[in-house]
Amino acid sequence: MAKRVAVILSGCGVYDGTEIHEASAVLVHLSRAGAKVQMFAPDADQMHVVNHCEGKPTGEKRNILQESARIARGEVTDLAKLDVSAFDAAIIPGGFGVAKNLSDWAVKNKNCTIQPHLEKLIKEFHKAGKPLGMCCISPVLAAKLLPGCELTVGQDKECEKWPYAQTAGAMKDMGCKHVNKDVDEAHVDVKNKLVTTCAFMCNAPFHKVFDGIGIMVQETLKLA
């Protein structure tokens, strides 16, 4: 029987929404595995809109759900309508939308809060023993809501290849166990049914990010 997976998006575009290549990789690997997918996003305004040519905020306002529909080809539902009992697992791709729209990590770091509907849903998936897959920056959501969990955002030593390695330190400060992994690997926290991979936290070729996300998807489905 096909696994039913909720994919949670946070807009469209790396600097203010979902990282598009990560979302695409998740969807391709889920499709290849024969999973039944439904996409969700909050029906709310983005924190801000970024000009992706310049990397600078603009004065525009955009809706997270409407922007996520660009990735979902229109097939996206308000996050408030996600019924945990209808799904076997949930996967959250990365992108700054996770840190700006699904939480306020971008502003408050380890003192962040999580979007209320999402906080409730992550806790419900976890309580029901249903697996969660997260990549790139999205493991910060688990770090905040699942105390003591094991996860990876790549490596904990900053260098050209790993420019965001300080995030691993923040995870440790939050009481989580960070496990160093390469871009084409994933870490499985069996106890918490949490599967994480670093994706574009690493300066890596697109195909390696794609492959790492594939491992994350496979391991998430195995736990479902």
Q: Write out the catalytic residue numbers.
A: 136
Using a CB cutoff of 8 Å and minimum separation of 24, what contacts does 103-110 make? 103/140, 103/141, 103/144, 104/47, 105/137, 105/140, 106/47, 109/170, 110/143, 110/144, 110/170, 110/173, 110/174
From first CA to last CA, the distance across the chain in angstroms is 11
Dist CA 140 CA 151 (whole Å): 9
Bridge-based pairing state of the strands 76-78 and 194-197: unpaired
Dist CA 2 CA 143 (whole Å): 29
User: What are the φ/ψ torsions at residue 189 (nearest 5 degrees)?
Assistant: -95, 95
Question: Between the CA of residue 22 and those of 28, 41, 123, what are the distances in Å?
Answer: 10, 16, 23
Report, in angstroms and rounded to the nearest whole number, the Rg of the chain calculated over CA atoms: 16
User: Are 86 and 4 a contacting pair, CB within 8 Å?
Assistant: yes
Question: Between the CA of residue 109 and those of 6, 112, 156, what are the distances in Å?
Answer: 26, 5, 16
- Reduced to 3 states, what is the DSSP secondary structure of residue 116? helix
